Structure 1
């Protein structure tokens, strides 16, 4: 039989084998192993030490057996430049690289740029002093993610200042820029702020500074096409970012702020912003209250809001949510109130929201421990377009909720009922057998009966345990 199948047909079969089983293909025969490797386009590897010349040579030889490799992720506990140089010499067709080992040097990055000319996405750790003179050599690069690792020092900063003055400005065509770990006094960032003017997505994580304020402000003013902004654990710099964007940016489509914000800065941004924000995701327990929600409802630019996600926002009340719900009733398709105790504090809130948000397609009420069947069911009755429902960690829900979902929500395709203690095996089985459109369910393995497993398998339903 093996001899009757041509190489192309075997490779097509390999592509259709699910990941848990695909690893066994290489054990069948040398031919199958060769064909599997030659058709593999994506690898995720953990490469532990030692990183001596013999292991690096073996690693490089392994990569050369994958000529079609376009996406590579490497994790380890060291390795630095030798590992990265092995990638550069062995993967000329690489387009996406994620390197999660020790910080890499500018020299190795320059080498990668000359060898892997098709790279469009890079995620690597770098060390101080910061230098980006290697960046312009990546002609195809669109997405860059950098993790700053070692502590800052005054000596390094003086050295960077001298290097900055000697580097000529050149336009870098990045569309997505992600930086993690900026510290006060970091000076090498000015090169990025001056030359990355086409960024559409900006992510900052665990950043205490933005480098030189004046160059960063000019950078934000030049970002006329910025569409997505994510700020995670960046409390000390949020005000200056939001202030600049509220004055200049009209293209912003998505805003995410997690774990550290500014109540006044966020309110000022909402009141003054001229952008037509469509997605808002906030995890700010002590920095978001009703004033922000009411301001959102009053700003006509936000009437097209498609997605609103609030996590652990304990200061909001039903007043603010109802006002916002009325304002965006014709546009909102996704609502998340995750671990928001307003769901439990105010009876009837979910019913009112369900009646207002007729176009809701995705609803996430995860980790609301006190949410009960009656409150949820009263909302679901009005949500006729719902296709995705997440109830993870809602411990007081019971099988009654699943029964109601079967009767009223025939369009559901994705349901998450993981860690719902009151939902039992019988309820899950009945739900799976009577939900014709369901394509994905997340539930504990212990709650899946043999009947439910067979039914899910026969209906090509994805079950995540």
Structure 2
């Protein structure tokens, strides 16, 4: 009823805040905050998560953010975030003021010590962490990504004030051992710890963490921390009895450290290893003691042989996700043992394992009938016959990824189409023997296919897209580098796939403006388009495109010689939801730069 504000009249503040807390998407929350002052206060009091760029006047931005949003429990501070994140306007003003102050100081004095302190003006520091610790004592999740200026002192402040902390990510932070020890002593509810590229840490820091809160930890990630060795893993094995996930990327950890983890952490469900100096004995211990293991990822293990997978097959009957990357000594024999022992496998990835071939994949298809995702990268020894078994034995397969599999042709896709009718995602790259025949079969049989990527497959042409568009309602399509495809194929997609939201047609030399006109009429939901290296697409095509595709959020169009500054201006003025445009800098007019500088990205600023 017009003029009657029933919600604000009847609804108490507590109930309004609880309702707003259940609105998860940020755009919807922002819209709620614009209704009225009361809703804005309620939204601020209910918001629990925020991301802040750790550049500019980051400490000042954080101070304003925590003063405005009083119920924060999840804070991410990331030096990689662009200046368009929350608090960007405040950051820009504070940065301008800081630069002005520094300039005045330089003019007034040539003090070299002041110049040395200048960089700290633009880094998130321990002072910012202290502000966060005082304002958000109920903090549960904290991510500090590449915040190079923080030290153990700031982490100690967090530990002493935020005792409810459950997840901590310190990627790229040069914190020392004392900060980690303080977290262990004070944060007894800590469940997940990520230590990636933390060069300042040694064994004493992780040992102190494990001794302090090991009973609550269920996930640990360690990468490129050369100071962390076997002593740390032994402490984790002794104190973290309930550990469920371990990710370890190290050049210094040896076999004994993994054995101690297997013996001490028998509840382990996920194990990711990239360790150069680890042998079969480590995986034999995992197979013997970790019967609950569900995910195993092995990267770059030149010392692993079929013995390790034989042990996994015998002891880890619940394994569901297996990734083998650059394990050059593994053969088809190991896959036979694995397939017979781990029949619950739902995801299988082989990447660069040169001795795994057709017969190994045949065993997977024959015994792993619950397989949902299959990823094959750089597997030249796998041929069509393997896909015959996969098609016969894996009817539930939903995702297939093939990269540089030079031994397969159209028959492989025909086998998949005949048996895997639930296929929803197909990504193929540089499989040059594939042509139209396989995709015609897919279009006839796989009616649920929604995500198709065919990159740099030189024989795939218009007939493939016509068949796919006729049989499947695609949402995502990538045909970059398939030079045989012309406007005919894209016209079929535009007319047959009205749900399309993402399209990549880069490197297609025969694609012209009329294809974009067809997209405008047939794909009104398109949100992302990539046009890079399109020789025939011009400003006229962009003008056609934006008439019907005004929902665009992302557009790449570098190295398109017929697109000019006028076309860029047309795109930006017609698509109000644009978030990113990749273009050469010299093609952007000064007016467009003033109007939409935030969303513009430049591939090469010197062009």
TM-score for the superposition, normalised by structure 2: 0.60
Unpaired runs of 5+ residues, structure 2, are: 1-59, 86-121, 132-153, 173-195
Question: Distance between the aligned counterparts of 1:403 and 1:195, measured in 2?
Answer: 58
Question: Distance between the aligned counterparts of 2:456 and 2:388, measured in 1?
Answer: 25
The one of 297, 312, 315 equivalent to 1:170 is 315
Question: Distance between the aligned counterparts of 1:243 and 1:256, measured in 2?
Answer: 16
Evaluate the alpha carbon distance shift between residue 267 and residue 140 of structure 1 in structure 2; reply closer, same or farther with a 3 A threshold.
closer
Q: Does 1:340 align with 2:482?
A: yes
Evaluate the alpha carbon distance shift between residue 5 and residue 277 of structure 1 in structure 2; reply closer, same or farther with a 3 A threshold.
closer
Q: Does 1:220 align with 2:365?
A: yes
Evaluate the alpha carbon distance shift between residue 351 and residue 135 of structure 1 in structure 2; reply closer, same or farther with a 3 A threshold.
same
Q: Does 1:438 align with 2:578?
A: yes
1:428 corresponds to:
568
1:42 corresponds to:
169
Q: For this pair of structures, how many residues does the alignment match?
A: 446
Segment drifting more, 430-439 vs 224-233 = 430-439
1:24 corresponds to:
123
2:251 corresponds to:
102
Partner deviation per Cα, 1:255-275 (whole Å, 9 max, x = no partner): 111102411651451464244
What SS does structure 1 have at the residue aligned with 2:508? coil
The one of 179, 190, 200 equivalent to 2:346 is 200
The 5 A counterparts of 1:38-77 are 41-45=168-172, 47=197, 55-57=202-204, 70=219, 72-75=221-224
2:25 corresponds to:
none
Contact 2:439 2:464 in 1 (8 A): yes
Segment drifting more, 384-393 vs 133-142 = 133-142
Question: Distance between the aligned counterparts of 1:431 and 1:91, measured in 2?
Answer: 55
Question: Distance between the aligned counterparts of 2:359 and 2:417, measured in 1?
Answer: 24
1:306 corresponds to:
450
Evaluate the alpha carbon distance shift between residue 391 and residue 94 of structure 1 in structure 2; reply closer, same or farther with a 3 A threshold.
farther
Unpaired runs of 5+ residues, structure 1, are: none
CA RMSD of aligned residues (A): 4.6
Question: Distance between the aligned counterparts of 1:139 and 1:462, measured in 2?
Answer: 51
1:356 corresponds to:
496
Q: Name which one, 1 or 2, has greater alpha-carbon Rg.
A: 2
Question: Distance between the aligned counterparts of 1:421 and 1:248, measured in 2?
Answer: 49
Evaluate the alpha carbon distance shift between residue 334 and residue 108 of structure 1 in structure 2; reply closer, same or farther with a 3 A threshold.
same
The 5 A counterparts of 1:230-269 are 230-260=375-405, 261-263=407-409, 265-269=411-415
2:554 corresponds to:
414
1:232 Cα deviation from its structure 2 partner? 0.8
Q: Does 1:149 align with 2:248?
A: no
Structure with the larger RCO, 1 or 2 (CA within 8 Å, 6+ apart): 1
Evaluate the alpha carbon distance shift between residue 20 and residue 4 of structure 1 in structure 2; reply closer, same or farther with a 3 A threshold.
closer
1:315 corresponds to:
459
